[in-house]
Chain A
Amino acid sequence: MRHKSWMLLEAAEAWCAMRLDAAPPDVQPTGVRVQTPPADQAAQLAAWLIANAYAGEDVLLAIGSQHCLVAEIPLEAGRRRPSRSEMAYALEEHLPLAAEDCVAEFVVRPATEHAFGVAVPKTYLAALVEGLEDNGVRVASVVPVGLLRCQQLVSEQGRADGTVIVANRDSLDVFVLQEGFPRQWQIVPHRPRELTRHLQWLRLQQGEPVRVLAVGIDDAETAAALSEQADVTRVAAEAGDESSDLVGCGHLMAQGEPAPWLDFRRTALPPRDRFRTVRPALQFAVAAAAVFLVAMSASFLFRASRFERLARDYEDQQRDVFRQALPNQPVPAGIRSRLESEHHKLAGVAGEQAAAPDYLDALSSLFDILCSLPQAVRFRLLEVQIEDDGRLSLEGEAPNHGDAGILATSLRQGGLDVEQPFTRQLRQDGVSVNIKARAVGSEIGTSAASPPEGKS
């Protein structure tokens, strides 16, 4: 938690201020009178702080005891702890104000069945705190000054039970402690007679001698009245002026430990800016996020520009490729599709399309047949038929069946896929031959340079 650096104290007539981190701390009068309306007090206090080098530090606001209305409310044993609003409505029964018109805070002692409630009129406290906030003063804590001095005294003296009397100029704050926490708080006029009467009443109420720890009682009559009470066991004889006592309170609050018994800023009148304590971290996070986002955006844009340049280079290279491939044509917008179209056309013309028919050249097959005919056998060809699917058919005449077989073998040796020849004896000499074959496939020009004349 951020430590408080300033403390504003509501004294009897005017506000005082103390810089907690100054060495030595000094209580300075601000001149802002407590009788003026709360909003005016706030504006004047803010102006005084700014004029005295206030720079946005946290401020502890110690309000006067005269604003506080106090009551102890019972808690049901064994039940869950009631909420703050439930306790506020329970406190309302003891106050002359409605719960909605006051700001209430509670001290709940551990393992007890009572809560100590303190209420301050909302018209005063809310106007004062919001006025200070609106004028740029960060009010971190709002604590009754009497309660603060009591806690400081108890902390110093190590007392957990008994009565504590905190003297102001015109009044005495009389606290009854139990187990280190306040249980009662009365404001008694700073006069010996009223003090004596109140102590007697306390003795009757408690049924035992009252042990008193007093601070700030510097007049002899009151001190004598206090000493004359037989049931008073101790008086803080070294109690000095109010300002030195407040310096001690300021140190206590500046350290942040122990936490004040009661702080209206906790829940009753919380800061409008709930993130005030983490604001520096938030500001740093926002700045870091902004720097990160700017750097990231710059990085993205830089890389994007590099990719754009790369894309332009690739497109220029595509144009160069097109000019080399099709030099006589203007460069179109769709270079790739134009090249694909040209490639498709040329592949189709070259017969490289998958669906291109593969016709065998009949002239090439005729060359193969003529070149395969045997030289040593006499025969006569009557018909040669070459189909577009490579089927061949030869009809002719040979001297005998054996020569017909030689003819077929010779064709087979020439690379043709020849079936067994069909031969038939003619009436005259010789046999007719019918040979069916299939060309394996050849291109014109691969055979002999010139075709032979007919053979017989």
Chain B
Amino acid sequence: MSSDERRRAFLAVGLLVTLCGLAAWSYVRLQVSYQRARAAGESLAVCEQLAKRISQLRTLPSQASLDARSAAELTGLMDNAANELRLPPRSVQNIDPQPVRRLEKSPYKVQATQVALQDVTLRQLVSVLMHVTQGDSELKVTELRLSAPRTEDPNDGVETWNAEATLTQLIFSPTSPDARR
């Protein structure tokens, strides 16, 4: 093989190697682009589904709040209800907020507040409790105890009750960012 032919052979081999490299690079680029398009398509489908769910969830009443209600806020709420409904003085015996506790293995916390009412009619009791919980769907009356002694006002014949209610607020509070997923 003459030097000229050897040079041509080297050139041919070099050309083929270069073209093989170009083909390999373009194949890798094709694969990367394909994976990116595929991931973007899947992500778009998930995003559309999430957006649809988000708009649905916004129409649902909230069952939990993101922040705990302060004791003063709840006390003020009870006082306002008692004033607006004109409950007899000293009807609200006590308001006892419990410490916030986490439900086991759950992203939720609960804050219970025990409220004691004395000498209230059923209408007054229900009205007060509804007044407190109505504008706030995260607050529920979870326990209720109506008990004697009851007294009967001889003037108007309306019976009254002593009541102990537990108002529970559900708080959504994931422990870590991972728990959000």
Contact = CB atoms under 8 A, between A and B. Distances in A.
A353 B57 CA distance: 12
Interface string A224-240: 00000000000000000
Interface string B1-34: 1111100000010011001101101110110111
Contact of A370 (B2, B122, B130): B122
Interface stretch (B41-49, B74-82, B91-99): B41-49
B148 A382 contact: yes
Contact of B54 (A294, A307, A308, A343): A343
A310 interface: yes
Contacts of B66: 345, 349
Interface residues of A, number: 76
A384 B4 CA distance: 110
B87 interface: no
A311 B33 contact: yes
Given A350-B62, A362-B143, A388-B143, A307 B166 contact: no
A303 interface: yes
Given A357-B170, A453-B121, A321 B48 contact: yes
Given A351-B64, A355-B107, A361-B140, A303 B145 contact: no
Contact of A349 (B53, B65, B122, B165): B65
Interface string B147-160: 11010000000110
Nearest to A388: B142
A311 B158 CA distance: 73
A342 B142 CA distance: 29
B100 interface: no
B129 interface: yes
Interface in A367-419: 370, 381-388
Contact of B47 (A276, A286, A335, A348): A335
Consensus secondary structure, chain A interface:
helix
A343 B50 contact: yes
A348 B30 contact: no
Interface stretch (A104-112, A177-185, A312-320): A312-320
A357 B19 contact: no
A388 B130 contact: no
A304 B44 CA distance: 20
Interface residues of B, number: 78
B123 A451 contact: yes
Contacts of A241: none
Contact of B40 (A311, A444, A456): A311
A83 interface: no
A223 interface: no
Contact of A133 (B2, B19, B46, B133): B2
Contact of B12 (A286, A321, A336): A286
B55 interface: yes
Contacts of B19: 289-290, 293-294, 297
A244 B172 CA distance: 112
A236 B59 CA distance: 120
B1 A301 contact: no
A358 B149 CA distance: 32
Contacts of B122: 370, 451-454
Contact of B44 (A321, A384, A454): A321
Interface string A406-448: 0000000000000000000000000000000000000010000
B50 A339 contact: yes
A453 B64 CA distance: 32
B83 interface: no
Given A134-B2, A297-B26, A350-B61, A325 B144 contact: no
16 contacts: A273-B5, A289-B19, A293-B22, A300-B30, A301-B29, A305-B33, A308-B36, A317-B44, A339-B51, A339-B54, A342-B50, A351-B63, A361-B141, A362-B142, A451-B122, A453-B158
Interface of A: 133-134, 136, 272-273, 276, 283, 286, 289-290, 293-294, 296-298, 300-301, 303-305, 307-308, 310-311, 314-315, 317-318, 321-322, 324-326, 335-336, 339-353, 355-357, 359-363, 365-366, 370, 381-388, 444, 450-454, 456
